[in-house]
Amino acid sequence: MAFVCTMPKQMMRDKIGMTETQRPMQVLPGTYQLSANLNLAKDIKLAIALNIASLGMFAGSVLLSFKFLQLIRPSLFTDPLDGLFSGYLSGTFLVTIIILISVIVGMIFLHEAIHGLFFWLFTGGRPKFGFRGFYAYAAAPDWFIPKPAYLIISLAPLVVISVVGFGLMLILPSAWVLPILLLVTMNASGAVGDLYAFFWLLLKPKGLYIQDFGDRMAVYFPREKAGDAEQE
């Protein structure tokens, strides 16, 4: 059975071109050293900037989603009986609040579950889930993950939820469209930290390993490259 289970993970690693020496590891060779830390919560200026960016991302994705739906599913805006809001205008305030809370909670769990699934696909180890303050996280503190794999893990929830969400908005009954639209746009807005980590890492040299603690991450370089990286 283990053979069957390890096949997709192996294929995943091969697909992104991880070499034999660039697999996730639980012990890093002595030639690597800690070179950079990213802690989004500790840097107050960065945290404020990310919160503003997150509001912008929310507004932008709501606008884009409406434009997209107008093009692909115009009946949502023209049909009074099967429109985007038709199922809600007659509903009670309480039902709307319950739907809203379910969407927010569902989005948080789904987002972290997708990070967790990708941690597991690459490492084969069980990821850690938890809460720190208002933030939920998925992490793999026992693993050193190569940069290509980590880039995929960081963007997976944004890409998967957006693509699947838009697919569902096109085929599900109209009453489902608004909750899914809210889930997709809130997920996009909540992914600004992931996007920041993605580009922060993308600009760093090849060959590095990342250790994710949930609320911060540590980056390790081979000794000869560590000097370049520390200048950032």
Q: Is 12 exposed, middle or buried (0-12, 13-18, 19+ CB in 10 A)?
A: middle
Pairwise CA distance, residues 176 & 100, whole Å: 12
| Residue 84 · residue 174 · CB < 8 Å | yes
Q: How many CB atoms lie within 10 A of CB 89?
A: 8
Q: Nearest distance from residue 5's CB to Zn ion, in Å?
A: 25
Q: By CB under 5 A, tell whether 215 contacts Zn ion.
A: no
Q: Nearest distance from residue 151's CB to Zn ion, in Å?
A: 13
| Residue 176 · residue 185 · CB < 8 Å | no
Residues 152-211 that bind Zn ion (CB under 5 A): 194
**Can you name the residues that pair with 218 across neighbouring β-strands?**
37, 211
Residues 3-22 that bind Zn ion (CB under 5 A): none
**Beta carbon nearer to Zn ion, 85 or 135:** 135
**Strand extents, DSSP E, 148-223:** 209-212, 217-222
Residues 84-123 that bind Zn ion (CB under 5 A): none
**Beta carbon nearer to Zn ion, 104 or 170:** 104
Q: How many residues bind Zn ion (CB under 5 A)?
A: 1
Q: Nearest distance from residue 121's CB to Zn ion, in Å?
A: 16
Site string for Zn ion, 51-90 (x = CB under 5 A): ----------------------------------------
**Beta carbon nearer to Zn ion, 119 or 221:** 119
Pairwise CA distance, residues 219 & 36, whole Å: 5
**Beta carbon nearer to Zn ion, 116 or 148:** 116
**Beta carbon nearer to Zn ion, 49 or 159:** 159
Residue 25 per-residue DSSP state:
B
Per-residue CA distances from 63 to 22, 137, 198 (Å): 41, 28, 24
**Beta carbon nearer to Zn ion, 36 or 153:** 153
Q: Nearest distance from residue 155's CB to Zn ion, in Å?
A: 9
Residue nearest to Zn ion (CB): 194
Output the six-digit token pair for 214.
Answer: 């949930």
Residues that bind Zn ion (CB under 5 A): 194
